[in-house]
Amino acid sequence: MNKEIAIDGPAGAGKSTIAKRVAEKLGLIYVDTGAMFRAIALYMTGKCVKSNETDKVKEELNNIRLDIVYENGEQQIILNDENVSRLIRNPEISKAASSFAQVPEVRERLLILQRELADKRPVVMDGRDIGTKVLPSAAVKIFLTADVRVRAERRYKELTDKGEKVNLEDIMSDIKSRDEQDMNRKVSPLVQAGDAVLVDTSSLSIDEVVDTIIKIACDKN
Buried-state track 60-81, b at ≥16 Cβ within 10 A, e below 16:
bbeeeebebeeeeeebebebee
Residue placing its CB nearer to ligand C5P in the complex, 32 or 219: 32
Residue placing its CB nearer to ligand C5P in the complex, 19 or 210: 19
Contact status, residue 193 vs residue 8, Cβ threshold 8 Å:
yes
Residue placing its CB nearer to ligand C5P in the complex, 137 or 221: 137
Q: Residue 131 annotated as binding?
A: no
CA distance 120 to 126: 17
Contact status, residue 188 vs residue 107, Cβ threshold 8 Å:
yes
Q: How far is the CB of 103 from ligand C5P (least distance, A)?
A: 10
Q: How far is the CB of 159 from ligand C5P (least distance, A)?
A: 14
Amino acid at 50: K
Q: Residue 14 annotated as binding?
A: yes
Residue placing its CB nearer to ligand C5P in the complex, 98 or 201: 98
Q: Residue 13 annotated as binding?
A: yes
Q: How far is the CB of 95 from ligand C5P (least distance, A)?
A: 8
Residue placing its CB nearer to ligand C5P in the complex, 15 or 210: 15
Q: How far is the CB of 209 from ligand C5P (least distance, A)?
A: 16
Amino acid at 32: D
Q: Residue 10 annotated as binding?
A: yes
Q: Give, for 126, the enclosing helix (H) or strand (E).
A: strand 123-127
| Closest by Cα among 210, 156, 129 to 12 | 156
Q: How far is the CB of 221 from ligand C5P (least distance, A)?
A: 27
Q: Residue 34 annotated as binding?
A: no
Q: Which residues bind ligand C5P (CB under 6 A)?
A: 11, 33-34, 37-38, 94, 97-98, 101, 127-130, 178, 182
Q: Rounded to an integer, what is the distance from CA 62 to the centroid of its chain?
A: 23
CA distance 14 to 142: 12
Q: Residue 27 annotated as binding?
A: no
Question: How long, in residues, is the chain?
Answer: 221
Query: Binding site for ATP, residues?
Result: 9-17
Query: Binding site, residues?
Result: 9-17
